[in-house]
Amino acid sequence: MKTYSITFLPDNKTIEAAAGKSVLEAAAATGIAVNSVCGGDGVCGKCRVLIKSGKVTAKPNMFLDRLDIQRGMALACQTFIDGDVVIEVPQESRVGGVPQLATEDAIRYGSISGWVGEGALFPHNPLFQKVYLELPKPTITDCVCDQERLYRELRRNRDIGVMQTGLAVLQRLPDILRQNDWKVTVMLGRRGQTLEVVDVEPGNTAAYNYGVALDLGTTTVVAHLVDIGTSKTLATKAKYNSQISYGDDVISRIMYASTAERLTQLRDLVVNDINDLIAGLVVEARVKLHDVSIVVCAGNTTMIHLLCAMNPGNIRKDPYIPTACSPPTIRAAEVGIKINPRGLLSTLPSVASYVGGDVVADVLVSGMMRSEELSLLIDMGTNGELVLGNKDWLVCCSASAGPSFEGGGITCGMRATNGAIERIQLGKNGDVLSCNVVGGGKPLGLCGSGLIDAVAELLKAGCIDRRGRYDRAACGSRLRENESGGLEFVLFTGRETALGRDLVLTEADINNLIHSKGSIYMATESLLDHVGMTFDDLKHVYIAGGFGNYLRIDQGVRIGLLPDLDPAKFKYIGNGSVQGAKMALFSQEALLNIQEQIAGAMTYMELSTSHKYMNEYSSCLFLPHTNIEKFPSLLSGVQKEAEIGVTG
Ligand code: FES
């Protein structure tokens, strides 16, 4: 097959690619992650690249206008190699760098104080322990075998049930014991009901025992390095999940992983991310990689399938059956994670295809399963997961919110990284009064919280009506028609942005957000209805998830994403995944609680079988809702607007 030379700028990386390969595939093969919210289906418009020279064949698309095409702009996934080419990948089309907010989140919400330790909820009883032993030497009257001698000493003063030791350890055991005067450190790892002698080290190494708590998200991977003996967090890091090049959401990833080769490819991408993070953590904390003994991972069901290279195909097919909700604890090296070669990988259990170990961890951290009072937990992302209940029962569901909270499907949407508007305040005619940009400087786009702010502020200013349509009179000169005939509002002109072009919000963008928020709100109402309760019965609402922590509750209520309740009932729980993983790592009792009292007790409700959800979803496609009575705190404002003829 004919191949051509492809050079990517400004990286100046060149590879040979076969004729007909897409620019997106060529970039991924070069290690350049291009935004591909839709996984290369040509429907998100986020993979814009600039063809500087050379021959390509491009399929028509609706995201580029005449001027863009004249400038050489193309969609990477819809453009195919037809000769030697030089391609520039602009900043806004790249996935990369550090997910700023996720990193801050990881640092702000990592504490487990009050959860594990003396006088806390769970005892300090780690999943992986190192025990120093000075064994009595064998004699003619004490002639048990080496393995039994080790077990006998371990069981002294300890309540240990079933134990096992692998052959590789037994093969080395006689020499290690005798060469070290019977003074050794035993590495003990919990694997289900069994305690495994994972390895035996010469001398006393018990003080050097570290673990990694992982939040394996569809968008970001967050890792905390912990000292298992002291329960201290030594370092934290986050990065984007490199699988993003193959789609932003779990469905795109599942579709991509349709062959064994591609499944392994996705597994390797995320394992490389995990290895990068761990390598950075040990350098920062001055810890030897060899002393990292265990990784405990909380992630959604699909991410855990991909990490373990288990076929995720049935997760997206009716009746949505995962391969396993509780994969066994395995050697981390089996999936390619680089820690101590005999170290372990443990994952938190899932409940169903769309309610994973990350949500189970959120529930643990919220404490809702210990309260008499009714609580609701909402984990917001491309999938919104909701859990309702109290100490006696828990019911959960998952709503497909679409990618708009992560900036997908939004003309100037982006993830919460440097350059993203995370907060914005607008005045009359939609004039910008203030704006917070992640990392400072000129804005590049809107992340989820910024998008919600912008729409809520435009609604408050009367620039959009309750259907999300622009009001020409109220918007003034900031409103214009775009090439596809739709209306767009210019939040910032090209001079004010780091984009080099205007930063706009189109009616189609607002419509996408309305669908996302409608899906979450309707799921909440359906879950309550399912158990015969109403919003009035709710005592606490916990907000979890990547962007959830940056969401302003009042703005969430204004657009109808969140129920109109007393603001004091809302509480952010931060990164529950990494916190839950950490608790499980430090306490076998916490893991048991996660397995039995949370995952094992949660009843899953499939929303597609809910008549209420199906029948009433369209009533949520208004700002905030067709029935404004459901939002009493907004009622007076809307009535006032109606009187002066602002609303549609
Ligand atoms: Fe190219 Fe979505 S349009 S990845």
- CATH code for the domain in which residue 317 is found: 3.30.420.480
How many angstroms does the Cα of residue 47 sit away from the middle of ligand 1?
5
pLDDT at 110 over 60: no
- The DSSP secondary-structure symbol of 355 reads B
pLDDT number for residue 32: 85
**Ligand 1 contact, 47 CB (< 6 A):** yes
Tell me, in angstroms, the distance from the centre of ligand 1 to residue 495's CA: 27
Q: Count each helix (H run) and each strand (E run) in the chain, helices first.
A: 17, 27
Query: Higher model confidence: residue 75 or residue 67?
Result: 75
Return the pLDDT at 139.
97
| Sequence-ordered list of residues with C-beta below 8 angstroms from that of 455, at least 6 positions apart, any chain | 464, 468, 505, 510, 513, 559, 623
- pLDDT higher at 102 or 53: 53
pTM: 0.86
Residue 179 in domain = yes
**Mutation choice for ligand 1 from 23, 25, 61, 75, CB with most ligand atoms inside 8 A:** 75
Q: SS3 for 609?
A: helix
| Atom of ligand 1 lying closest to residue 47 CA | 1
Residue 627 lies in a domain: no
The 445-446 sheet, strands edge to edge: 432-437, 420-426, 445-446
Domain-located, residue 260 = yes
Name the domain boundary from 493, 511, 529. 511
Round the CA-based radius of gyration of the chain to a whole number and report it: 27
Same domain, yes or no: 166 and 291: no
**Does residue 36's CB lie within 6 angstroms of at least one atom of ligand 1?**
yes
Q: 357: Cβ below 6 Å to ligand 1?
A: no
Q: Which domain range does residue 10 map to?
A: 3-93
Domain boundary among 172, 202, 232: 202
Give the span between the Cα atoms of 48 and 340, in whole angstroms. 42
- pLDDT for the residue numbered 103: 54
State the Cα–Cα distance between residues 487 and 469, nearest whole angstrom: 9
Quick one: pLDDT at residue 648? 32
Tell me the best of 25, 62, 77 to mutate to test the pocket of ligand 1, counting ligand atoms within 8 Å of each CB and taking the most: 77
Q: Ligand 1: does its nearest atom lie under 6 Å from the Cβ of 23?
A: no
What is the best residue among 22, 32, 44 to mutate for testing ligand 1's pocket, by most ligand atoms within 8 Å of CB?
A: 44
Assess whether pLDDT exceeds 90 at residue 492: yes
If one counts the domains in the chain, the total is: 4
| 249, 342: one domain | yes
Burial of 532 (0-12, 13-18, 19+ CB in 10 A): exposed
Least confident of 38-47, 157-166, 393-402, 435-444: 38-47
CB burial of residue 123 (10 Å; 0-12, 13-18, 19+): middle
Beta bridge partners of 13: 8
CA dihedral 253, 381, 236, 444 (to 10 degrees): 90
CA distance 211 to 451: 37
Lowest-pLDDT choice from 99-103, 229-233, 419-423:
99-103
pLDDT, average across residues 294-302: 97
Residues 188 and 82 in one domain: no
Are 77 and 149 members of one domain?
Answer: no
For the chain, what is the mean pLDDT? 91
34 lines ligand 1 (CB under 6 A): no
Cβ pair 362, 577 in contact under 8 A: yes
What is the pLDDT, as a whole number, of residue 644? Answer: 45
Q: 409 CB less than 6 Å from ligand 1?
A: no
User: Looking at residue 263, what is its pLDDT?
Assistant: 97
CB of 45 closer than 6 angstroms to any ligand 1 atom: yes
Answer yes or no: is pLDDT of 283 > 70.
Answer: yes
Residue 117 has a pLDDT of 84
Q: Is residue 362 part of a domain?
A: no
The reply to whether 419 and 495 lie within a common domain is yes
Q: State the Cα–Cα distance between residues 563 and 368, nearest whole angstrom.
A: 18
- The reply to whether ligand 1 has any atom less than 6 angstroms from the CB of 504 is no
Identify the band that residue 292 occupies on the pLDDT scale cut at 50, 70 and 90.
Answer: very high
Residues 180 and 309 in one domain: no
The ligand 1 atom at the shortest distance from the C-alpha of residue 63 is 3
The total of other beta-carbon atoms located within 10 Å of residue 321's CB is 12
pLDDT of residue 1: 79
- Give the tens place of pLDDT for each residue, 534-566: 999 999 999 987 677 788 999 999 999 999 999
Q: Which of 22, 32, 37 to mutate to test the pocket of ligand 1 (most atoms within 8 A of CB)?
A: 37
User: What pLDDT is stored for residue 246 in this prediction?
Assistant: 86
Residue 545 Cβ contacting ligand 1 at under 6 Å: no
More confident residue, 360 or 28: 360
Same domain (yes/no): 233, 333: yes
Q: 219 with 187: CB under 8 angstroms?
A: no
| Domain shared by 491 and 422, yes or no | yes
Average pLDDT rounded to a whole number, residues 588-610: 94
Domain with residue 174: its CATH number is 3.10.20.880
- 627 pLDDT tier (thresholds 50, 70, 90): very high
Write the DSSP symbol of residue 412. T
Confidence of residue 625 (pLDDT cuts 50, 70, 90): very high
Answer yes or no: is 370 within a domain.
no
Percentage of the residues of the chain whose pLDDT score is greater than 90: 75
| 329 vs 346: CA distance, rounded Å | 5
What is the distance of C-alpha 147 from the center of its chain? Answer: 43
Is the minimum distance from the CB of 64 to ligand 1 under 6 angstroms? Answer: no
Boundary-marking domain end, from 42, 77, 93: 93
Is the pLDDT confidence value at 119 over 90? no
Q: To 10 degrees, the CA torsion angle through 459, 465, 470, 472? A: -100
Q: How far is the CA of 274 from the centre of ligand 1 (A)?
A: 26
Question: Does 42 score more than 60 pLDDT?
Answer: yes
Answer with the residue of higher pLDDT: 639 or 610: 610
42 lines ligand 1 (CB under 6 A): yes
469 CA to centre of ligand 1 in angstroms: 26
Residue 58 lies in a domain: yes
- The pLDDT tens digits for 576-586 are 899 999 999 99
Q: How many CB atoms lie within 10 A of CB 8?
A: 22
Q: Are residues 196 and 215 in the same domain?
A: no
State what percent of residues in the chain have pLDDT above 70: 95
Q: For residue 501, report the phi and psi dihedrals to the nearest 5 degrees.
A: -145, 170
Q: Whole-angstrom Cα distance, residue 105 to residue 345?
A: 24
Q: Is residue 546 part of a domain?
A: no
13 C-alpha to ligand 1 centroid (Å): 22
Does 96 have pLDDT greater than 70?
no
pLDDT for 500 beyond 90: no
Q: Is the pLDDT of residue 135 over 90?
A: yes
User: First vs last Cα of the chain: how many Å apart?
Assistant: 59
Q: Are residues 228 and 278 in the same domain?
A: yes
314 with 419, same domain: the answer is no
Dump pLDDT digits (tens) for 429-484.
899 999 999 888 999 999 999 999 999 999 999 999 999 999 999 998 999 998 78
Across 280-314, b (16+ Cβ under 10 Å) vs e yields ebbeebebebebbbbbbbbbbbbbbbbbbbbebee
Residue 252 domain flag: yes
Query: Is the model's pLDDT at 347 over the cut of 60?
Result: yes
Cβ(365) – ligand 1 distance below 6 Å: no
pLDDT interval class at 502 (50, 70, 90): very high
Residues 57 and 147 both lie in one domain: no
The mean per-residue pLDDT over the stretch 55-84 comes to 89
Q: Which atom of ligand 1 is nearest to the CA of 41?
A: 2
